[in-house]
Amino acid sequence: MRKPDGARLALTRRVVLLFSPYRWQVLALVVMVLGSAALSLFPLRLLGTMADKVVDGDLGALDLLFGAYVAMVVSGALLGVLQGYVNQIIGQGVMQRLRSDLHDHLQRLPMRFYTRTRTGEILARVTSDVNGIQRTLTDTFTDFMTNASILAIAFALMFALSWQLALIALIVVPLWSYPTMRIGLQQRRLLGLWHAENAKMAAHLEETLSVSGSMLVKSFGREPYESDRFEVSNANLRTLSLRRMMSARWFNMGSSLFSTLIPGIVYWYGGRAVVDGDISIGTLVAFALLTQRVFGPFASIARINVTMLSSLALFERIFEYLDEDVEIEERAEAVALHPARGAIAFEGVDFSYNEGARSALSDLSFTAEPGQMTALVGPSGAGKTTITYLLQRFYDPQAGVVRLDGHRLTDLTLDSISSAVGAVMQDSYLFHDTLAENIRYGRLSASDAEVAAVAETAGLSRFIGQLPEGLQTMVGERGYRLSGGEKQRVAIARAVLKDAPVLILDEATASLDSRLEREIREATRRLARGRTTVVIAHRLSTVLAADQILVLDGGRIVERGRHAALLAQGGLYASLYAEQFADEADASIEPAAGGSVS
């Protein structure tokens, strides 16, 4: 995966650009922050003046100053509420857009991204990483602006009161800046390591605590092994968390030390100035109060710097996904194919899944006319499934052309390709939802009556009639509450509802019993009627009626024709056919032999 530019300036620029749709709201927020900062500091100056009036015994002026003090404090509080509301509007808007952009980009990424990336890693970045930067986007900017404004106004007031005392307070800034930056860089590195380890743990949990993973672990008795693997990540997270915490504790100690010592120095030095008559007691009180207000925001800015530098590690991880190339792009001049007839053509197609890897398809050419059935036959790894991937434009070939109704797939809109091609794959994936919603995924606008009708077409009526909740029954994660045959029927019903003119059938009846196999075949036969059908045949008995059979080996078509002609050639097809039927004959004899022994 390509790393984004890790330079702080480049990353910060990308983060700032996230706020560009809210530039006017940000400007209004800056004005409110400045006003709020001023209304929080000027009352402190009034307190100093009030102290002088007490010394002078001027109670009338004291009352007026107190009224002005209350008005400023109340106005500042109300402005703070409005500032918080605008801040959340901006921050939550940016978060929503970032989540949406990341989700949409992930959906556009090619299949090769998902084949090389663990699901748990993806989920960790979309959830925990995005949530980890939420405070940075919603609070940190406002905190920085507020504290920076307070510092600027406070130092202006302090210099107006006594430039000598102001210099003493100001000298601490360069002394504290360097260690703060060092701690921030360390926190950024540790946070990146922590989230990487956390994503690794999430990926491990997603694999081993899913239904499939849990069954595999239990089947092989690998619970102790998986516990040990988990404990390694758990211990690494503990170590990284301790290092982050101790780094932050040293920072907090230094910040507290400076903020405690400086007011003491101010009272010590300022007290001498009062005794010498250089400043009034009210000036010293106001200055001391301003000093206390300065070092709170100064410590906060230092912590914000640490937070920002740490958050850059999370932004790097998110931008890493956002910078992934989208290989399957829709051209601006792409045309929509409605309605599609279903004519398919592969012309000299070469394809490999990775650069430098062996070719999955080599110089492959064939055509299928509308309504024809084309069967793909061959040993494992011959390229059968790859053909179906290219037909759905999950990938683009490195050479050659794939056409639908005479159009290059690259010249068609992705939506029209999806509408024209339906698929019932070997692994029938179902969502953790109701039967009805899993079927309706084929056409989201379908009515309940249409869903029920296609369920009956797929042979689900008897099964649904036995369920207390009928079509509203939850199927469980990946459909694990259903049998293999029932999941396939749901997938068939979904494809019937989609009603695409081109149908891909990855036949998966080899593991079913004979009666259920016949029923599934009959359901798929009804589904294929009148459509251009591409069948990946695992059992050669299902392709007897195919209009053409393509025999693949090593990514090439080595034989093509109809069943009888291919058998007569005595080539690879005849060999596969003879081998399969010999295996089936042996399987039918073994139970009888076993019975005689017992």
d(CA 393, CA 320): 25
Retrieve residue 512's tokens.
């079913």
* DSSP-assigned letters across all residues of 357-423: SPPSEEEEEEEE-TT-EEEEE-STTSSHHHHHHHHTTSS--SEEEEEETTEEGGGB-HHHHHHHEEE
| Residue 546: half-sphere exposure toward Cβ, Cα within 13 Å | 29
Query: 10 Å Cβ neighbour count for 417?
Result: 25
174 assigned to some structural domain: yes
pLDDT number for residue 407: 93
Each residue's pLDDT expressed in tens, for the chain with a length of 598 residues: 555 545 667 787 888 888 888 889 889 988 998 888 888 878 877 777 777 777 777 778 888 888 888 888 898 889 888 988 888 888 888 888 888 888 888 888 888 888 788 777 788 788 777 877 776 777 777 777 888 888 888 888 878 877 777 777 677 665 665 666 667 667 767 777 887 788 778 777 777 776 666 656 766 667 777 788 888 888 888 888 888 777 767 666 666 666 666 677 777 777 777 777 777 777 777 777 777 777 667 666 766 766 676 677 778 888 888 888 888 888 888 899 888 888 999 999 999 988 777 889 999 999 999 988 899 998 888 999 999 999 999 899 999 999 999 999 999 998 899 889 988 887 778 888 888 888 888 888 889 999 888 888 888 888 888 888 888 888 877 777 787 778 888 888 888 888 889 988 886 554 455 566 666 667 677 777 778 989 888 777 777 878 999 999 999 999 999 988 999 998 899 988 888 765 554 444 444 434 333 3
pLDDT number for residue 543: 79
| Residues 115 and 62 occupy one common structural domain | yes
Last-in-domain residue among 290, 322, 354 = 322
Contacts of 341 (CB under 8 A, 6+ apart): 370, 405, 501
485 assigned to some structural domain: no
Phi, psi of 519 (to 5 degrees): -65, -45
Contacts of 119 (CB under 8 A, 6+ apart): 203, 206, 207
pLDDT number for residue 552: 93
| Residues 256 and 376 occupy one common structural domain | no
Q: What is the pLDDT of residues 433-457, one digit of tens each?
A: 888 888 888 888 889 999 888 888 8
| Residues 416 and 284 occupy one common structural domain | no
Last-in-domain residue among 322, 355, 385 = 322
| Residues 349 and 316 occupy one common structural domain | no
The three-class DSSP label of residue 545 is: coil
pLDDT number for residue 347: 94
339 assigned to some structural domain: no
For residue 385, give its domain range: 344-429+495-597
| Residues 65 and 175 occupy one common structural domain | yes
434 assigned to some structural domain: no
Domain at 182, CATH number: 1.20.1560.10
pLDDT number for residue 513: 53
Query: 10 Å Cβ neighbour count for 450?
Result: 16
Q: Do 522 and 470 touch, CB atoms closer than 8 A?
A: no
d(CA 214, CA 202): 15
d(CA 560, CA 487): 32
Instruction: Quote the number of domains for the chain.
Output: 2
Domain at 387, CATH number: 3.40.50.300
Enclosing H/E stretch for 349: strand 344-351
Q: What is the pLDDT of residues 53-82, one digit of tens each?
A: 777 777 788 888 888 888 888 988 898 889
Phi, psi of 366 (to 5 degrees): -165, 165
Beta strands in 105-147 (DSSP E): none
Spatial strand order of the sheet with 532-536 comes to 421-424, 502-506, 532-536, 373-377, 548-553, 556-561
| Residues 288 and 359 occupy one common structural domain | no
End-to-end Cα separation, the chain, in angstroms: 60
Q: What is the pLDDT of residues 325-362, one digit of tens each?
A: 888 888 888 899 888 888 999 999 999 988 777 889 99
Q: Do 353 and 331 touch, CB atoms closer than 8 A?
A: no
Helical segments of 408-475, H only: 414-420, 435-440, 448-457, 461-465
Q: Do 493 and 441 touch, CB atoms closer than 8 A?
A: no
Retrieve residue 145's tokens.
């602006």
d(CA 38, CA 95): 30
Beta strands in 24-124 (DSSP E): none
229 assigned to some structural domain: no
Enclosing H/E stretch for 345: strand 344-351
Look-up of token digits 């849990």 = 214
| Residues 361 and 508 occupy one common structural domain | yes
114 assigned to some structural domain: yes
| Residues 294 and 393 occupy one common structural domain | no
| Residues 75 and 115 occupy one common structural domain | yes
